[in-house]
Structure 1
Amino acid sequence: MHWLDVSILIIYLVALAILGFIRSNHSHKDPEAYLLAGRKLSLPGFVVTLVATWYGGILGMGENTFSFGVQTWFIFGLPYYIFALLFALFLAARINQAKYISLPDQFHNRYGKTAGVISAIYILALASPAPYILSIGILIQFLSGLSFGISLIIATTISMSYIFTGGFNAVIRTDKLQFGFMFLGFALLLIYSIKMFGGYTQLAMALPKSHLS
């Protein structure tokens, strides 16, 4: 790698650590401040952290779309937008008024302990941070030449440390940084791809007809 590439990655990791380890004075005293950012998360902040958290799926989606076409969006994208809109319009306000800490908390209070435990296990599996920690571990391995196991331990330690220290506020701060890098990278990738391979006309000529129907 060129020294400039390495420098950018190092700056990114250092900035991520600094933002993650910033700690508010009351975050460790108030459970709601620690776990829910004091219930003061704005809409832009919500969008940023949601996009940054689920952004990894775009890699698999891109491959799936290339293989099966636009139907991928109708299968995986459209239902998500519909139900997210329904949740925002009809459920979000009621859930906020109930002042629950988590979804399993709500299931526990409404349907009993068993429902709360089952929902907690399901959500833990669904929202597992393992793919993202794995990505950081691979990046550290690539940069440092350390073994994969050691790199994974370092990635896990860094991630868990700043979350433990700063709570949900730390997650939001780091997600804002990553959101900016993601879309900057997307823009640069788009510009580079158009420059190297041409625009839609060249793409249409290179792809099989089945990919355009």
Structure 2
Amino acid sequence: MMVLNTAILGITVLIYLMIIFYLGWLGYKRTKGIDDYMVAGRNIHPYILALSYGATFISTSAIVGFGGAAGALGMGLLWLALMNIIVGIFIAFVVFGSRTRKMGKNLQAVTFPELLGRRFDSRFIQGFAGILIGIFMPLYTGIVLIGGARFVETTLGINYDVALMILTIIVAAYVITGGLIAVMYTDALQGTLMFIGMAILLVFTYIRLGGVVEAHQALTNMAHLVPESLVKGGHMGWTAMPAFGTPIWWNLVSTLVLGVGIGVLAQPQLVVRFMTVKDDKALNRAVFVGGPFILMMTGVAFTVGALSNAYFFQKKDMISLAVAGGNTDLIIPEFINSAMPEMFVVLFMLVLLAAAMSTLSSQYHTMGTAIGHDFYRQYVKKGKISHTVDVTKIGIALTILASVVLAYVLPISIIAPATAIFFGLCAAAFLPMYIGAIFWKRMTKEGAIASMLVGTLSSLSWIAFVHAKEAAPLGISQALFGKATLLTGTWTVVDPILVATPLAMLTAIVVSLATRPGATEHLEKCFHNIK
């Protein structure tokens, strides 16, 4: 384990934290009302929007978790990088962003659940969406905490529990006080730092391996070193896609690539970003910053994760999984600490702290508003209480506690799978309803509610009873029916998103066509100025 120069590390981290807290204070000073706290005053600069969106999207789960998954599965994961750019940036901003921003302004919505609830004139939709986010997003937050804490643990040699608590306290301090303005300001700084760090990481990696062509050729030549257990699952080498239809192919394509690549469209903490700018021009400008940012973040993480095998084989005669003791979440931290210069390790620790803090701050803000504003104020109290910000801060505190507990108890190699689970659940529960809300005037409240319930229940049921990766360890199917999964064969490796989301979409269409549309006046208000 590398021993870092304590003085350099201490000074660097101190300067970084001073800037973060200054930006948090700036956000606090500029937060005057509920719109400022919830949607940053609807006047955020395109550059800040793009980096905040990207930094929120790309967390330690992408760099550490998915980078580690690439270390095990190979460069086939680069298909996810392509999906992230096409779907997560271009389609999200250009196709969904403009309509979301306009409808959010028309309805004076300040959260994603509120946008859906007001579009369909349903407190139930807003309350159910809020509690769903409050219950399941801590899973995603917990694994982001794990990613940041694991790198600090590996780099500094300190106790994992201590690293976890330090990270949590720092993020909580500026999220609770400064709202979304503070979150987006700090995101922009952290996103810039992440871009620089990943660019340097890519260059150093190729230097260590003798050049671009040499590095990829060395990795290609290692195909015979794939462990037998992975070969049986369909692994064909780190520069090749897994064999079509095999368990590893289904895991890579349906869970990691499609689960995250499509699920990004219905991420509450990302959708709300579209409501923070004043016009479509800002959204379009943000694409030109967001696209390269996502390419650098995901493309580098997945490439370096796979290439770490070539480095460890040259230096230790071992593949990455063996060096990390079978824990894919440790592959990237081990590679950074082993292959990179000491000063870069300090920089990259800040990059991962930035990645973790930017995503965590947005997640805490989203969970707090979901519980405090959407569920408690709007659904339970029917909008009657006025202290929305105070209740939201309590919601943030509660979800922080839940995510820390999960970060202690979740198993190893959990970052990438848990991310895919949450993204897939959001896609099934929210995406059909969200698409109908902003694109289809004929979609009814009954269709939206049915879609949300079918998507949620079918996704969770598939996880609990069919998808072997979760169903087997959960043991619910075993306890109730005496077998690990209700279905067998290929079904057990098909991700829930491929079953639950189409079911929810079909439900939305059928029920909407079978029920009466909403009042014309309400629809005109929702779609005002939306072409």
Which bin holds the TM-score, normalised by the shorter protein? 0.7 to 0.9
- SS of the counterpart of 1:198? coil
Change (3 A) 1:178 1:73: closer
Q: CA RMSD in A?
A: 3.1
Residue 5 of structure 2 aligns to which amino acid in structure 1? H
Among residues 215, 234, 252, which one is paired with 1:203 in the alignment? 215
Match of 1:18 in 2: 22
Which structure has the larger Rg? 2
Among residues 87, 92, 104, which one is paired with 1:95 in the alignment? 104
C-alpha displacement of 1:35: 1.8
Supply the distance in 2 between the matched residues of 1:40 and 1:21 (Cα, whole angstroms).
Answer: 18
Match of 2:173 in 1: 161
C-alpha displacement of 1:11: 2.5
Among residues 193, 196, 200, which one is paired with 2:205 in the alignment? 193
C-alpha displacement of 1:137: 4.2
- Larger mean Cα displacement after TM superposition, 40-49 or 92-101: 92-101
Supply the distance in 2 between the matched residues of 1:149 and 1:129 (Cα, whole angstroms).
Answer: 16
Kindly tell me the number of residue pairs found equivalent between the two proteins: 212
Q: CA offsets per residue over residues 20-67 of structure 1, 9 Å max, x none?
A: 23355452x411112221111122111111111121243244434725
Match of 2:62 in 1: 58
Change (3 A) 1:212 1:150: closer
- Larger mean Cα displacement after TM superposition, 69-78 or 185-194: 69-78
Identity %: 21
- TM-score, L = length of structure 2: 0.35
Residue 172 of structure 1 aligns to which amino acid in structure 2? M
Change (3 A) 1:162 1:143: farther
Match of 2:116 in 1: 107
Supply the distance in 2 between the matched residues of 1:176 and 1:131 (Cα, whole angstroms).
Answer: 22
Q: Which runs of 5+ in 2 are unaligned?
A: 222-236, 242-531
Residue 36 of structure 2 aligns to which amino acid in structure 1? A
- Larger mean Cα displacement after TM superposition, 198-207 or 126-135: 126-135
Change (3 A) 1:157 1:32: same
Report if aligned partners of 2:113, 2:127 keep a CA contact under 8 Å in 1: yes
Change (3 A) 1:73 1:55: closer
Supply the distance in 1 between the matched residues of 2:91 and 2:158 (Cα, whole angstroms).
Answer: 43
Q: Which runs of 5+ in 1 are unaligned?
A: none
Report if aligned partners of 1:35, 1:168 keep a CA contact under 8 Å in 2: yes
Q: How does 1:72-151 map to 2 (within 5 A)?
A: 72-73=80-81, 78-81=86-89, 83-84=91-92, 85-109=94-118, 110-124=120-134, 125-126=136-137, 128-138=140-150, 147-151=159-163
Report if aligned partners of 1:6, 1:143 keep a CA contact under 8 Å in 2: no
C-alpha displacement of 1:145: 6.2
Match of 2:324 in 1: none
Q: CA offsets per residue over residues 129-177 of structure 1, 9 Å max, x none?
A: 3334444545665677664334433332221221121111111121122
Supply the distance in 2 between the matched residues of 1:195 and 1:143 (Cα, whole angstroms).
Answer: 22
Residue 22 of structure 2 aligns to which amino acid in structure 1? I
C-alpha displacement of 1:87: 0.2
- SS of the counterpart of 2:74? helix
Supply the distance in 1 between the matched residues of 2:30 and 2:74 (Cα, whole angstroms).
Answer: 48
Report if aligned partners of 1:204, 1:212 keep a CA contact under 8 Å in 2: no
Structure 1 residue 68 corresponds to structure 2 residue 76: yes
Which of 1 and 2 has higher RCO (CA within 8 Å, sep 6+)?
A: 1
C-alpha displacement of 1:9: 3.0
C-alpha displacement of 1:72: 3.6
- Larger mean Cα displacement after TM superposition, 143-152 or 16-25: 143-152
